[in-house]
Amino acid sequence: MNENNTSQIWYTAAKRIAAVSAAFALILSVLLVINYIQTKRIDPLNSKALNQLMVELQKNQNDEALKEQIRALDLLARKAYFTNLWQVRTGSLLLFAFVLTFLIALKYISSFQTRFPDLTAVPDYEQMWENRLFARKYIIFTGLGLFVFAFVLSVLTEDGLSRAGMEKGESADEVSTLPGIEEIKQNWPNFRGPEGIGMAYNITVPTQWDGRTGENILWKTEIPVHGFNSPIIWGKKIFLSGADRNTEVVYCIDADSGEILWQTELNDIPGSPVDRPDNTEDTGFAAPTMATDGLRVFILFGTGDVACLDFDGNRIWAKNIGVPENHYGHSSSLITFRNLLLIQYDQNSGGHLIALKTDTGDLVYDQQRDIEISWASPILVNTGKRDEIILNSSPDVISHDPLTGKELWRIDCMSGEVAPSLAYADGIVFAVNQYAKLAAIKLNGAPEILWESEDDLAEVSSPVATKDFVFVAASYGTISCYDSKTGERYWFEDLPKGFYSSPVVVGDNVYLMDMAGTMYIFKTMKEFSLVNTCELGESAVTIPAFMHNRIYIRGFKHLYCIGD
């Protein structure tokens, strides 16, 4: 066999290899494009049937048969997810291999193009057809373009599946142990109660007490280490934190007796600063209110130390997320969503929305926010279409997806040093800050400002809203009532002391405590209708907690339980 015959054999083999590789690459490209389209239409981890069962489980937390059905569907969904992920990865690797083989064969074929053809040979029409095919460069480049397109889509599909897996990372067992919205509403799990919006649900509480005489004071307990955070409650356990330059501590108090069940010091957290920040006295080191998911409690201190404890006071995890760059001291409170602990960490160096895994403290995301420093706390509401975590800041009120941190919308309406948190009711978000405005943001359709007011604005106190009214309390002592849909101010009252605490709606009453510890109770009406004023007996600036048909108030020194 001469050299020309050998070369011809290799030349023919290379063309056949190129043709086969191109055919398989084309088939894989089409399959990957179809898979991408299907994945966009159907999320393997987001089964409608599974989501419906989750909703039913929120209504009936003790249905074991329903939990077993959820586990079975969850297992099938996860098998589909991992199968899809394996198919995408394998298909991408095979596509890459076939395209590489095609290009190598093509390069080998092109090395023969400089040789002169044998003019005496009998024409081989099959070979002529192949030569013409490979000579049409636009066919080759079109095919390569399709291969690249399919490969990019496969990468996007894998990335999307991976992010979906992260977002849906909790198993059915984890989800079934987390409380549903109805159980959350029966407790007081974070700053300003369920969802962080200042609404107490399904409860009747006293309208008469006197801390000086002891009338309707069921108990009061001295809290050894001071803090400006408000009480949170789950079941019959109340949680508070306290801190100074030397100590960081968490307290658990029995709701019936007022006894301190346990206290856990957290003075050895990794990364905690040796030199404490220079926080002002009216902020201190324990201003952020704690949060609970019904299984664990979470604490954030003014040093940037964050920790998780179980209900018996045992540490599960602790870490430092960075010493706050804050000229007053950090005060934004915590909130949880599913298996995430969410932290609004807006500092002099820029804003952050941080999500940590509740069971491990691992970072899930750190969403950068191009805003100025703020002291507000997030609210977490379902707007009818989706869950949103919404943050007040300057210059924008911004909504994020709580699972990913992705920004959903923003409205430019704030300025100054923002401390009040937001209110929400009936599809409208209410934002306020002194020297800025009170703005109502309608969320039906594209978010937009519904109305604005610049009268008697809050500096620290957060507003509260119902479907009909918005109530705003100013630090210099005024209370204003607005129509929530039109912005018409129905009334305002000028009272002796100012307000740092925020109003809470309980039934058809609003409870609002001034800095002297005087509680003003008035009706949710177009006219100011005072129900009563009640004295705590010591100064207080925290948010009362409402549960067990009682009121729990943290003063400067004591925790009070008020009930009939």
> For the segment 341-360, what is each residue's pLDDT rounded down to a tens digit?
999 999 998 899 999 999 99
What pLDDT is stored for residue 470 in this prediction? 98
Q: Would the pLDDT of 445 be above 60? A: yes
Q: Is the peptide bond before 395 cis (omega within 30 degrees of 0)?
A: yes
Among 125, 142, 177, the domain boundary falls at: 177
List the domain range (segments joined by +) for residue 85: 3-177
Strand partners, 215: 210
Query: Looking at the whole model, is its pTM more than 0.85?
Result: no
Same-domain check for residues 127 and 7: yes
Instruction: Give the pLDDT of residue 286.
Output: 97
pLDDT at 387 over 70: yes
Residue with tokens 């408000």: 230
The letter for the amino acid at 438 is L
Predicted local confidence at residue 5, as pLDDT: 66
Same domain (yes/no): 375, 518:
yes
Report the pLDDT averaged over residues 170-196: 81
Specify whether 117 is located in the same domain as 215: no
State whether 159 and 253 are in the same domain.
Answer: no
Buried b (16+ CB within 10 A) or exposed e, 53-67: bbeebbeeeeeeebb
pLDDT band at 129 (very low <50, low <70, confident <90, very high): very low
Do 514 and 533 share a structural domain?
A: yes
Residues 96-104, mean pLDDT to the nearest whole number? 72
Answer whether residue 229 shows pLDDT above 90. Answer: yes
Of 177, 207, 242, which residue is a domain's last?
177
- The amino acid occupying position 482 is Y
* pLDDT for 108: 67
Same domain, 141 and 202: no
pLDDT above 60: residue 128: no
Residue 406 predicted with pLDDT over 80:
yes
C-alpha 342/C-alpha 355 separation (Å) is: 5
**112 and 194 inside one domain:** no
Ranking 160-164, 319-323, 494-498 by mean pLDDT, the lowest is 160-164
Q: Which band of pLDDT confidence, cut at 50, 70 and 90, is reported for residue 384?
A: confident
User: Is 69 in the same domain as 30?
Assistant: yes
Q: Is the pLDDT of residue 45 over 60?
A: no
pLDDT(66) > 70: no
Q: Are residues 220 and 367 in the same domain?
A: yes
Mean pLDDT of the chain: 85
Burial of 449 (0-12, 13-18, 19+ CB in 10 A): middle
Tell whether 376 and 314 lie within a shared domain. yes
Please give the residue that has the higher pLDDT: either 226 or 129. Answer: 226
Instruction: Give yes or no: residues 226 and 116 share one domain.
Output: no
Token code pair at residue 549? 């048909």
Task: Point out the domain boundary residue: 177, 196, 218.
Answer: 177
For residue 500, give the nearest of 458, 456, 531 by alpha carbon: 458
Q: How many domains does the chain fold into?
A: 2
Task: Determine which of 33-42, 237-246, 247-256 has the lowest per-residue pLDDT on average.
Answer: 33-42
pLDDT band at 191 (very low <50, low <70, confident <90, very high): very high
Backbone dihedral angles phi then psi of residue 95, each to the nearest 5 degrees: -60, -45
The enclosing domain of 235 has a CATH number of 2.130.10.10
Instruction: Give the end-to-end CA distance of the chain in Å, rounded to a whole number.
Output: 109
Kindly state whether residues 389 and 495 are assigned to the same domain: yes
pLDDT at 26: 74
Q: Is 161 left (phi over 0), alpha (psi -120 to 50) or beta?
A: alpha
Residue 119: the pLDDT is 45
Stretch 147-172: mean pLDDT: 51
pLDDT at residue 123 greater than cutoff 90: no
What is the percent of the chain where pLDDT is above 70? 72
Q: Supply the pLDDT for residue 83.
A: 63
CA–centroid distance for 472 within its chain = 26
